[in-house]
Chain A
Amino acid sequence: MTTSGIDREWRRYTRGERLARFALYFGIVAACVVSLRTVQVIPEFLYDAPEQVADLLKRMWPIEWAFYRRGVHDALIETLHIATLGTILAILMAIPLGVLAARNIVPFAAVNYFAKLLLVSSRSVNSLVWALLFVAIFGPGALAGTMAIAFRSIGFVGKLFGEALEETRPGPIEALRAAGAPALSIFLKGYWPQVVPAFWAIALFRWDISVRESAVLGLVGAGGIGMAIDTAMNLFQWERVALMLAAIFAVVVIAELAVTYIRKRII
């Protein structure tokens, strides 16, 4: 056996891969250059920007803490309700969709595809846009906001849940089938116990994001603190705006701490 035919050069990637990588880098740089050249940015504004930002920040100080009781607290609580209720609704609707999208549970490609399509559409439309739609349907207020959060979250929860289901070990499922268990029992005792940790992680993660998103829905009239921010900004009451931003920041931090704590307890 001769060794003359063996290529002795050390290459990390095959030629095809290198070409593809190069194409990628090139594509990114090209996209960047093209964008920079055609984007309509007025240079004066760009140079002005740091000064403007500084001016804005100055106007936000001192923060008008006193306004909290009157104008901020209720709106903040409403925001939390929107986020939580919206997430709960989303989970209820996302579980069946996630099951339908899982190839190992529902082996019909058309159904999987359709479910995944619904999930992608839900994710692709921004929560703010959902809020606009629901304000048009239900009128301004928290109902629109909750539905917006719910519909936006379905895609997120459903996709991750479906993926968790697809990653379950097939062995225990086979055993339950062999024992003659009906389909629902196989799901409850075979699939569900395997995905419970992932399920809670997904739910908490989504709740955390929803809290952030709920805060801004009010900007289009869908309830919560966003509406207060909108009013204050239109009246140029920047100290109040600063107060609301600080309140949102505090709530987000508390939410993250709560999520970390709950995760440690139940996962």
Chain B
Amino acid sequence: MIDAVRPAVFAPNWPARLAWLGLFAYAIYAASILDFTWDRFVTGLGQGARFVARMFPPDTDPEKMRLMARGLYESLEIAVIASVLGIVLSLPIGLLAARNLMPAWLTWPIRLFIALCRSFHQVIIAIVFVKAVGFGALAGILALTVASIGFVAKLFAEAIEEISLKQVEAVRATGAPFMSVVMFGVMPQVLTRFVGFATYQFDSNLRNSTMVGIVGAGGIGGTMFAAFQKFDYDYLLTILLAIIAVIMLSEALQNWIKKLYQ
């Protein structure tokens, strides 16, 4: 009986170990660069405790609640309009960006446009629109629409690029016009995923709409920032809790929609 050669086992994985070590070293380095000292942290904890204490109990003054409700409602409006507008626009834009359906001279500029829409944080886009069209909901709507296009159009284009072209070919072979080819060859394959993107984006817009108000683009963000600056921390807590509740509801709604479209 010949003894097979026994390979070495559990050899230390040096690249992985170095990477972990590097990560650890970086964390220490970054912490020191950012001036994380222990005292700052401890003082901060004390401050934090005091801060949290001032937030409880949440303010339930009826006048303030009405103000908050209006702010939330405006955020909801912004989210709905921006989502619908963004999603509707993303359909053609995403379609035009699909490299397996469209020629290169068309897909490249469109993809660049989509990338631009995505690169900037919604807040930055919101600020730009506030400077352009003034304070209020319009800036928020435009900002979130742009952000929606950046996300939904990109994923939509990627989903189209992953479909089986055979089905598209089959529809084309029947002599159908282009829109029919899209509707019956492309869409059925990507519809479920598209619904997933759309619901995700609505949820994202809802979260962000509560925030663009901080820079003046409408919605409850403005109310919240005002409360913050006035040191009205218990009111701030009420607003935060309300926002969390709205988002949880929206998540539940999302799950329901996804089940419906499975």
Contact = CB atoms under 8 A, between A and B. Distances in A.
Direct contact of A and B (CB under 8 A): yes
B77 interface: yes
Contacts of A216: 121, 123-124
> Is the interface on chain B under 10, 10 to 19, 20 to 34, or 35 or more residues?
35 or more
A125 B243 contact: yes
Contacts of B207: 123-124, 126
Interface stretch (B99-107, B127-135, B177-185): B127-135
A17 B260 contact: yes
A67 interface: no
B243 A45 contact: no
Contact of B127 (A55, A220, A233): A233
B133 A36 contact: no
A245 to B, nearest CB: 7
B34 A85 contact: yes
Contacts of B115: 253
Nearest to A55: B132
A31 B137 contact: no
A86 B192 CA distance: 34
B51 A136 contact: yes
A120 interface: yes
B27 interface: yes
Interface stretch (A103-111, A139-147, A162-170, A184-192): A139-147
B144 interface: no
Contacts of B81: 32, 35-36, 39
B138 A49 contact: yes
A32 B120 contact: no
A138 B40 contact: yes
A4 interface: no
A17 to B, nearest CB: 7
A56 B121 CA distance: 18
Interface string A38-67: 111110011011001101100000000000
Interface string A68-105: 00000000001001101100100000000000000000
A249 interface: yes
Given A84-B26, A248-B120, A24 B131 contact: no
A26 to B, nearest CB: 13
Nearest to B138: A41
A21 B259 CA distance: 11
B153 interface: no
Contacts of A40: 74, 136-137, 218
A56 B131 contact: yes
B67 interface: no
Contacts of A123: 207, 247
Given A20-B260, A85-B34, A126 B228 contact: no
A58 to B, nearest CB: 11
Given A215-B121, A248-B119, A249-B116, 13 more contacts: A45-B134, A46-B138, A81-B30, A120-B244, A121-B244, A129-B214, A136-B47, A146-B36, A216-B121, A245-B124, A248-B124, A252-B119, A253-B115
